[in-house]
Copies of this chain bind each other. A is one copy, B any other.
Amino acid sequence: MDTEIPTRPLILISNDDSIDAPGIHHLVECVRAMGDVIVIAPKEPHSGQSAALTVGEPLKIGERPCDTEGVRLFTVDGTPVDCVKLGLDAIVPRKPDLMLCGINHGSNSGTAITYSGTMGAVLEACMEKIPAVGFSLLHHSMKADFTLSTSFVVDIVARVLEKGLPEGVCLNVNIPAKVVPEGIKVCRAAHGHWSEEYKRYLSPSGMPFYWLTGRFVNEEPDADDTDEYWLNRRYISVVPVTPDQTAFAAIRPVEDLLK
């Protein structure tokens, strides 16, 4: 009888800011002592790409040299979801024990996570039954300081790696910027909407064109069970997220509506 050789956990890491973003390399540093790490990240930035995937075009895989033992770096010339899908199909030697995404340069809080490429990739791993966590720092700069929250990130990853997550649930973790976090709060996504402020321009020939700006408007700033509330108070927010968007409480009312 063969003796089973103990293997180190396999951790898949992706992001939406591309392989060149500092946030993903900080995340690798946070967790590489816990297992073998395979990074599969977009070749180019893909912020705001949600769960978009590439259909009707081919994808290519690249490998970047990496001197760190137990870490390999791959690129896919597609979206964050493409990285997870194609990575699971063609790159990883076995199903990863954990999938991490980020650390994103910029927030992914409230119901605005619908646009998040970071959470798009996390939801993809979740649907593939891999415990998955997305991390985002509330700071857009490529020079953002990720180190103030390192101990919290390490702790969250270690616990999820050890104990797993409830079935069909992944985590959306947001981290306040420029402070040592006060602690961690598990909460729900604040309801809100993106306040559009497209800036309007005129081309040399007088044709108008538009550039997205705007910001997320929290519609319930006083609700103390939301991510926005606690992020504003210097806490790390952890929202359990499900790929199932069914509004269960609305099934009966909609039945009545269509009766």
Contact = CB atoms under 8 A, between A and B. Distances in A.
Interface stretch (A2-10, A65-73, A251-259): A251-259
A181 B118 CA distance: 39
Interface residues of A, number: 83
A1 interface: no
Contacts of A194: 85, 127
Query: What copy number does this chain have within its complex?
Result: 2
A120 to B, nearest CB: 6
Interface in A187-243: 187-189, 191-194, 196-198, 200-201, 207-212, 238-243
28 contacts: A47-B56, A48-B52, A50-B50, A50-B120, A51-B114, A53-B115, A53-B212, A59-B210, A60-B208, A60-B210, A61-B208, A85-B198, A86-B196, A86-B210, A90-B200, A111-B243, A159-B257, A165-B250, A171-B254, A186-B254, A186-B255, A188-B248, A238-B254, A238-B258, A239-B246, A240-B246, A241-B245, A242-B247
Q: Which 6 A-B pairs have the closest CB atoms?
A: A240-B250, A50-B50, A50-B51, A242-B247, A52-B52, A240-B247
Interface of A: 47-61, 79, 81-82, 85-86, 88-90, 111, 113-115, 117, 120, 123-124, 127-129, 155-156, 159-160, 163, 165-166, 168-169, 171, 184, 186-189, 191-194, 196-198, 200-201, 207-212, 238-251, 253-255, 257-258
